[in-house]
Structure 1
């Protein structure tokens, strides 16, 4: 059984994750770990104690972001304006999926045999619950399926990863997607 981290160790871990997220967003996953430690206000030893390898740090940043997406989805389930809540969640999901090249594919196909990206499945479950509520309450078309929406959002994320894309294209695509999902936008023929 793993002992819970002391309060100061939790704080240091959080600071390293926040600094790493900023550095990876800015410089990619090859950002200097020493620079990350410095930005977090900790020594390299503290960084390596929490994250012995770069890969563990990258995975922790991804996991942390996806847990945040899950928590946001659960919080938004109680939002009075469900259309606005769903759009906020989808934007956050796309933003997280766009953080690293290749993450969009993982959002579509989380590793079944790995607990390391269990947060990916949890994020999708929160989104599915939000989408299901929107369908039940008539905000979205009755033929909308959560898996289809999440796959389309991952596709929007993937398009955003491609070189030479126009500025704001990802946002335009997401707006088109959400508009097409709304109740009254028509429906697909039955399968």
Structure 2
């Protein structure tokens, strides 16, 4: 039986098992951190050898934890999606649905700037043509979530029903992903990303709202910007 109380003898099999597990976990985390940095810079074109070198391990160690570069990339995307869904937290639950949706897109834009894993995961998702199995969940999840929020806004009499909520939901997703893609290519991502997302909503709200006067639009954007600036808990 394994020891359950007191110090574990350093010459026991259980002790060495724990040591090996801790080392394996640390190596895996080093590889994920290195992959996030290099995938964030180079997309799927980042080399396995470069990732291993940045992590301070050999390629054999990398392949022990991840069977291929695609497997590693999919894990980065999974972590990115896990962290991104966390932005839709309890601090938004009492906000009008349209405010909540805009605040989420602003938080997602900020995450893409501040968190290497999120930045890398989003870039890999946008570069999905390189994958044998294209990663769609990060997009389909938010399309569904934004559709739900827009349907609530329609029911509340805030948003027009002339355009199906699912159509506007796709536009909402493209606001922050498209802005990141374009601004990254221009080298202006850090300077203008959140501003570009806000500007896009300022242009779209008149077509979306039933009452689209300047005062209403300003109030919605002001509240969304305030909520969008709030820090959210990072997972992992």
Instruction: Please indicate the TM-score interval, normalised by the length of the shorter structure.
Output: 0.5 to 0.7
Residue 164 of structure 1, aligned match among 166, 186, 191? 186
Structure 2 unaligned runs (5+)? Answer: 1-19, 113-117, 214-236
* Alignment match, 1:37: 55
Q: Does 1:128 align with 2:147?
A: yes
Q: CA deviation at 1:84?
A: 5.3
* Alignment match, 1:175: 198
CA distance in 2, matches of 1:115, 1:26: 20
Q: CA deviation at 1:28?
A: 4.0
Q: CA deviation at 1:21?
A: 1.6
SS of 1:141's equivalent in the other structure is: coil
Q: CA deviation at 1:77?
A: 8.4
Q: Does 1:17 align with 2:17?
A: no
* Alignment match, 1:100: 123
CA distance in 1, matches of 2:36, 2:106: 18
CA distance in 1, matches of 2:141, 2:108: 12
Do the aligned residues in 1 keep the contact of 2:175 with 2:200 (CA within 8 Å)? no
CA distance in 1, matches of 2:64, 2:125: 27
* Alignment match, 2:169: 149
Larger Rg: 2
Do the aligned residues in 1 keep the contact of 2:34 with 2:54 (CA within 8 Å)? yes
Aligned residues: 170
Higher helix share: 2
* Alignment match, 1:80: 94
SS of 1:72's equivalent in the other structure is: coil
Structure 1 unaligned runs (5+)? Answer: 1-5, 187-191
Do the aligned residues in 1 keep the contact of 2:84 with 2:108 (CA within 8 Å)? yes
* Alignment match, 2:223: none
CA distance in 2, matches of 1:80, 1:152: 20
CA separation of 1:148 and 1:97: change in aligned 2, threshold 3 A = farther
- Per-residue CA deviation, residues 110-136 of structure 1 (Å, 9 max, x unaligned), is x9x958544542343333334444444
Per chain length, whose mean CA-contact separation is higher, i.e. which structure has more relative contact order (CA < 8 Å, sep 6+)?
Answer: 2
Q: CA deviation at 1:165?
A: 6.4
* Alignment match, 2:219: none
Q: CA deviation at 1:54?
A: 1.7
Q: Structure 2-normalised TM-score?
A: 0.52
